[in-house]
Amino acid sequence: MIQSLSSSLALLVLASLLTACHAIRVTEPARTATEQLLLSTATDHAIKDIDLAAVKGKRVFFDKSYFKSYDDGYALGSIRELLATNGALLVPERQGSELVVEARSGALGIDSRDSLLGLPELAMPIPLAGQVQTPELALYKAQHADSVARFALLAYETDSGAFVDATGPMVGKSKFHHYKVLGFINWRVTDIPEQQPNN
Protein backbone atom coordinates (compact mmCIF):
# COMPACT_ATOMS: atom_id res chain seq x y z
CA MET A 1 0.00 0.00 0.00
CA ILE A 2 2.82 2.41 0.96
CA GLN A 3 4.78 1.44 -2.16
CA SER A 4 1.72 2.06 -4.35
CA LEU A 5 1.18 5.46 -2.69
CA SER A 6 4.82 6.51 -3.21
CA SER A 7 4.68 5.39 -6.87
CA SER A 8 1.54 7.46 -7.42
CA LEU A 9 3.15 10.46 -5.73
CA ALA A 10 6.29 10.10 -7.86
CA LEU A 11 4.19 9.93 -11.04
CA LEU A 12 2.27 13.03 -9.99
CA VAL A 13 5.49 14.99 -9.34
CA LEU A 14 6.95 13.83 -12.68
CA ALA A 15 3.79 14.84 -14.56
CA SER A 16 3.90 18.29 -12.92
CA LEU A 17 7.54 18.78 -13.88
CA LEU A 18 6.94 17.70 -17.48
CA THR A 19 3.98 20.06 -17.75
CA ALA A 20 6.09 22.96 -16.46
CA CYS A 21 8.78 22.22 -19.04
CA HIS A 22 6.33 22.65 -21.91
CA ALA A 23 5.03 26.11 -21.02
CA ILE A 24 5.15 28.40 -24.10
CA ARG A 25 4.85 32.18 -23.98
CA VAL A 26 2.98 33.69 -26.92
CA THR A 27 2.89 37.42 -27.61
CA GLU A 28 -0.27 38.57 -29.36
CA PRO A 29 -1.29 41.95 -30.84
CA ALA A 30 -4.14 43.98 -29.36
CA ARG A 31 -6.39 42.90 -32.26
CA THR A 32 -6.75 39.30 -33.44
CA ALA A 33 -6.17 38.55 -37.12
CA THR A 34 -9.92 38.11 -37.63
CA GLU A 35 -10.67 41.47 -36.00
CA GLN A 36 -8.09 43.20 -38.21
CA LEU A 37 -9.54 41.50 -41.31
CA LEU A 38 -13.06 42.57 -40.30
CA LEU A 39 -11.97 46.22 -40.09
CA SER A 40 -9.99 46.18 -43.33
CA THR A 41 -12.77 44.36 -45.24
CA ALA A 42 -15.36 46.91 -44.03
CA THR A 43 -12.97 49.65 -45.20
CA ASP A 44 -12.64 48.02 -48.63
CA HIS A 45 -16.43 47.85 -48.92
CA ALA A 46 -16.82 51.51 -47.88
CA ILE A 47 -14.60 52.92 -50.62
CA LYS A 48 -15.51 50.46 -53.37
CA ASP A 49 -16.78 52.09 -56.59
CA ILE A 50 -16.36 55.67 -55.30
CA ASP A 51 -15.93 58.10 -58.19
CA LEU A 52 -13.60 61.05 -57.56
CA ALA A 53 -13.38 62.49 -61.09
CA ALA A 54 -12.80 66.00 -59.68
CA VAL A 55 -9.26 65.10 -58.54
CA LYS A 56 -8.06 63.72 -61.88
CA GLY A 57 -4.83 65.41 -62.99
CA LYS A 58 -4.82 67.74 -59.95
CA ARG A 59 -2.04 68.15 -57.39
CA VAL A 60 -3.78 66.96 -54.23
CA PHE A 61 -2.76 67.31 -50.59
CA PHE A 62 -4.43 64.62 -48.46
CA ASP A 63 -5.41 66.06 -45.05
CA LYS A 64 -5.97 63.33 -42.46
CA SER A 65 -6.15 65.62 -39.41
CA TYR A 66 -9.94 65.16 -39.11
CA PHE A 67 -9.74 61.37 -39.31
CA LYS A 68 -9.91 60.02 -35.76
CA SER A 69 -10.02 56.25 -35.27
CA TYR A 70 -8.28 53.57 -33.22
CA ASP A 71 -7.32 51.49 -36.28
CA ASP A 72 -6.68 54.07 -38.97
CA GLY A 73 -3.53 52.99 -40.82
CA TYR A 74 -5.16 50.69 -43.37
CA ALA A 75 -8.14 53.01 -43.87
CA LEU A 76 -6.00 56.09 -44.54
CA GLY A 77 -3.74 54.14 -46.90
CA SER A 78 -6.78 52.84 -48.77
CA ILE A 79 -8.18 56.37 -49.19
CA ARG A 80 -4.81 57.57 -50.53
CA GLU A 81 -4.91 54.69 -53.00
CA LEU A 82 -8.47 55.69 -53.97
CA LEU A 83 -7.27 59.23 -54.73
CA ALA A 84 -4.30 57.97 -56.75
CA THR A 85 -6.36 55.49 -58.80
CA ASN A 86 -8.80 58.32 -59.61
CA GLY A 87 -5.95 60.29 -61.15
CA ALA A 88 -4.88 62.56 -58.27
CA LEU A 89 -1.24 63.64 -58.14
CA LEU A 90 -0.52 63.31 -54.43
CA VAL A 91 1.82 65.91 -52.96
CA PRO A 92 3.35 65.83 -49.44
CA GLU A 93 2.64 69.48 -48.50
CA ARG A 94 -0.41 71.74 -48.68
CA GLN A 95 1.74 74.43 -50.24
CA GLY A 96 2.04 73.71 -53.93
CA SER A 97 -1.20 71.74 -54.12
CA GLU A 98 -4.24 72.70 -56.18
CA LEU A 99 -6.76 70.79 -54.09
CA VAL A 100 -7.03 69.66 -50.48
CA VAL A 101 -8.94 66.47 -49.74
CA GLU A 102 -10.00 66.08 -46.11
CA ALA A 103 -10.93 62.67 -44.74
CA ARG A 104 -13.09 62.06 -41.68
CA SER A 105 -14.24 58.93 -39.91
CA GLY A 106 -17.71 58.40 -38.49
CA ALA A 107 -17.10 54.79 -37.45
CA LEU A 108 -14.51 52.05 -37.66
CA GLY A 109 -15.15 49.34 -35.13
CA ILE A 110 -16.58 45.93 -34.27
CA ASP A 111 -19.74 44.85 -32.47
CA SER A 112 -19.71 41.30 -31.09
CA ARG A 113 -22.25 39.12 -29.34
CA ASP A 114 -22.27 35.49 -28.21
CA SER A 115 -25.07 33.11 -27.34
CA LEU A 116 -24.87 29.64 -25.81
CA LEU A 117 -27.39 26.88 -25.20
CA GLY A 118 -25.64 24.45 -22.88
CA LEU A 119 -23.08 24.67 -20.08
CA PRO A 120 -20.24 27.23 -20.18
CA GLU A 121 -16.72 26.54 -18.94
CA LEU A 122 -16.70 26.49 -15.14
CA ALA A 123 -13.91 26.69 -12.58
CA MET A 124 -14.46 23.84 -10.12
CA PRO A 125 -12.59 23.99 -6.77
CA ILE A 126 -10.82 20.70 -5.95
CA PRO A 127 -9.59 20.23 -2.37
CA LEU A 128 -5.76 20.29 -2.13
CA ALA A 129 -5.46 20.74 -5.92
CA GLY A 130 -6.80 24.23 -6.61
CA GLN A 131 -9.27 24.80 -9.43
CA VAL A 132 -10.01 22.67 -12.47
CA GLN A 133 -11.63 24.16 -15.59
CA THR A 134 -14.52 22.07 -16.87
CA PRO A 135 -15.01 21.98 -20.65
CA GLU A 136 -17.81 23.84 -22.35
CA LEU A 137 -20.78 21.65 -23.31
CA ALA A 138 -22.58 23.43 -26.14
CA LEU A 139 -25.78 22.13 -27.67
CA TYR A 140 -25.77 25.33 -29.74
CA LYS A 141 -23.31 28.21 -29.74
CA ALA A 142 -23.20 31.32 -31.93
CA GLN A 143 -20.45 33.97 -32.00
CA HIS A 144 -21.19 37.07 -34.10
CA ALA A 145 -18.69 39.81 -34.97
CA ASP A 146 -19.82 42.64 -37.26
CA SER A 147 -17.67 45.54 -38.41
CA VAL A 148 -18.81 48.94 -39.72
CA ALA A 149 -16.71 51.56 -41.50
CA ARG A 150 -18.10 55.01 -42.26
CA PHE A 151 -15.92 57.65 -43.92
CA ALA A 152 -16.41 60.85 -45.89
CA LEU A 153 -14.18 63.01 -48.10
CA LEU A 154 -14.32 66.73 -48.81
CA ALA A 155 -12.35 68.37 -51.63
CA TYR A 156 -11.77 72.12 -51.94
CA GLU A 157 -9.38 74.49 -53.71
CA THR A 158 -6.20 75.10 -51.74
CA ASP A 159 -5.92 78.85 -52.38
CA SER A 160 -9.56 79.98 -52.32
CA GLY A 161 -11.10 77.28 -50.14
CA ALA A 162 -13.91 76.97 -52.69
CA PHE A 163 -15.90 73.73 -52.59
CA VAL A 164 -15.00 71.22 -55.31
CA ASP A 165 -16.56 67.88 -54.38
CA ALA A 166 -17.77 65.72 -51.47
CA THR A 167 -18.47 62.02 -51.28
CA GLY A 168 -21.06 62.08 -48.52
CA PRO A 169 -21.04 59.05 -46.20
CA MET A 170 -19.14 56.03 -47.54
CA VAL A 171 -20.34 53.01 -45.56
CA GLY A 172 -18.99 49.48 -45.57
CA LYS A 173 -19.78 46.45 -43.45
CA SER A 174 -18.19 43.09 -42.81
CA LYS A 175 -19.16 40.02 -40.78
CA PHE A 176 -17.71 36.89 -39.22
CA HIS A 177 -20.26 34.52 -37.68
CA HIS A 178 -19.25 31.19 -36.16
CA TYR A 179 -21.71 28.47 -35.17
CA LYS A 180 -21.30 25.22 -33.23
CA VAL A 181 -23.92 22.50 -32.72
CA LEU A 182 -23.60 19.52 -30.36
CA GLY A 183 -20.02 20.51 -29.58
CA PHE A 184 -18.44 19.24 -32.82
CA ILE A 185 -20.45 20.49 -35.84
CA ASN A 186 -18.89 23.82 -36.85
CA TRP A 187 -19.49 26.27 -39.67
CA ARG A 188 -18.99 29.96 -40.34
CA VAL A 189 -20.60 32.69 -42.39
CA THR A 190 -18.32 35.53 -43.46
CA ASP A 191 -17.56 37.94 -46.28
CA ILE A 192 -13.84 38.14 -45.41
CA PRO A 193 -12.04 36.62 -48.43
CA GLU A 194 -9.15 35.26 -46.32
CA GLN A 195 -11.59 33.47 -43.98
CA GLN A 196 -13.64 31.74 -46.69
CA PRO A 197 -13.75 27.94 -46.28
CA ASN A 198 -11.68 27.33 -49.44
CA ASN A 199 -8.83 29.63 -48.24
Residues in the chain, how many? 199
Q: Which residue has the higher pLDDT, 14 or 177?
A: 177
pLDDT above 80 (res 12)? no
Mean pLDDT of the chain: 85
Residue-wise pLDDT tens digits, 20-29: 444 455 556 7
Residue-wise pLDDT tens digits, 97-142: 999 999 999 999 999 999 988 888 777 787 777 788 777 778 899 9
Share of the chain above pLDDT 70, in %: 84
What φ, ψ does residue 36 adopt, rounded to 5°? -65, -40
Q: What architecture does CATH give domain 28-195?
A: 3-Layer(aba) Sandwich (3.40)
Q: For 164-183, what is the mean pLDDT?
A: 93
User: What per-residue confidence (pLDDT) applies to 199?
Assistant: 58
CB-CB contact of 153 with 79 (8 Å): yes
Q: Which residue has the higher pLDDT, 149 or 198?
A: 149
Residue-wise pLDDT tens digits, 59-98: 999 999 999 988 899 999 999 999 999 999 999 999 999 9
SS3 content of the chain, % helix, strand, coil (to 5): 25, 40, 30
Give domain limits for the chain: 28-195
